Amino acid sequence: MNIVFSPIGIIHTPFMEPEGTPIQTVFSKETRGAVEVFDQYRQALTDLDGFSHIILLYYFHQSRGPKLTCRPFLDNQERGLFATRAPARPNAIGLSIVELIKVENCLLTIGCPDMIDGTPLLDIKPYIGDFDVKANIRTGWYATAQNRVQTAADRRFSGS
């Protein structure tokens, strides 16, 4: 079975290449970006401006294909790809929760982008705390690595 997606827009950020791109939205708190939604989807943006945050699903267009194991940025041990957020995935789909600052026609102003300029947008969903925040979670290997969180830039595309 083949599954085909077509972009519904383009994400614009100040990050022009993978090197130096924040690894997660938490590392780009002062950064602003824009989501250009194609005009044919304008009506789908109705009522989105009532949400403070949105979930963006996008295509890692500069990923070089999957790696089934990788070393997460906070760890020094190889981990299974599905236990990480690395971009080198079988279907190269990214997910980020960003701040929605403004909706103006087909242009969304966003805060905390962590993707490269020109990233193809696949979908937008509203972030709803009652549905999206979970209690009593386990965080696997990250539980021992979380004290290493620091400002980090993305070197995951570069193969290093």
Could you give the CA distance from residue 152 to residue 26 in angstroms, rounded to a whole number?
10
SS3 track for 99-117: EEEEEECCEEEEECCCCCC
Give the tens place of pLDDT for each residue, 8-31.
999 999 989 888 777 777 666 788
Statement: 9-154 belongs to CATH 3.40.50.10490: no
3-class DSSP state of 36: strand
Query: pTM for the complete prediction?
Result: 0.85
Question: Tell me, what's the pLDDT at 117?
Answer: 96
Torsion of CA 50, 51, 57, 58, to 10 degrees: 70
pLDDT per residue as tens, the chain (160 positions): 999 999 999 999 998 988 877 777 766 678 899 999 999 999 999 999 999 999 999 999 998 889 999 988 778 899 999 998 888 899 999 999 999 999 999 999 999 898 999 999 999 999 999 988 888 878 777 777 766 555 455 454 444 4
Q: Where are the domains of the chain?
A: 9-154
Place of tokens 């209690």: 135
Question: Tell me, what's the pLDDT at 28?
Answer: 67
Question: Tell me, what's the pLDDT at 159?
Answer: 45
Closest CA to 152 of 24, 2, 5: 24
Question: Tell me, what's the pLDDT at 35?
Answer: 98
